[in-house]
Amino acid sequence: MTGRLEGKTAIVVGAGQTPGATIGNGRSTTVRFGREGARVICADHRVDSAGETADSIRRAGGDAFAIEAEVTDEHSMADLIAASLRRLDRIDILHNNVGIGTGDAGATSITGEAWDRIMDVNLKGVVLAGKHALPSMREAGSGVILDVSSIAAACSVDIVAYKSSKAAVDAYPGTGDRKRLARHSGQQHHARAHQDADGHRDLRRCRLRPGRSPRGALHHRRVPRRRRWPGHPRGLTHVSRTPERA
């Protein structure tokens, strides 16, 4: 390993693993973060599974802790960030990997219950994690937020809730609170927000450029798939076609 994240800290939300022979994006990214030198918080609503991920990092000589977290509950997410700051002192990377599609269906078949559950997990979880992590990143003057999107957001697929939730995740980094990083308290903040569509689409990169006015501080561009940077999940993990894990 190259040690690209030596001295960095990271939270991976969805660091556990559903039963099966494959390894999902959450666990593979978390393990790679640890191998690259980051101190990692492994967060998952299945804390036993998150603990297994943390154990694998520690066995390899890394530093990792497991914390139980429920992405649809704001108090739980606030507690996750607070506990992470107590252990790590700062947050350099927040990786939101949780996603589900259980009960999804077409436009005339989707139930209200399934729609609400999928949107809560896939979108609300991203919003709540970012809401509570951003203040510490602003205070530190740096940070990276990584959200897992999906090619389903751009394809015509008959899973309307999942598709809509991922399309909303695509929109969120460039339009929500993160876009106003440079306007907080009249200061500029060296922070970035990225989204990854499981390696199938170009990644939209939203970065804050130092030395520019808040109004012009955000620069949006399409980043070709072949270009990766430290902290980007595809730059740090072996390619896995397994979907993100709930």
**Catalytic residue IDs:** 162
Strands 63-68 and 142-148: unpaired
Q: Tokens for 132, please give them.
A: 């509570």
Q: Is-contact 76 98, C-beta < 8 A?
A: no
Strands (DSSP E) found in 52-134:
63-68, 93-96
Nearest to 76 by CA among 1, 24, 21, 129: 129
Distance CA 11, CA 1 (A): 20
Nearest to 45 by CA among 17, 70, 66: 70
Distance CA 166, CA 178 (A): 17
Q: Give the ranges where 150-189 is alpha helix by DSSP (H).
A: 160-175
Nearest to 99 by CA among 166, 193, 12, 152: 166
Strands 39-44 and 63-68: parallel
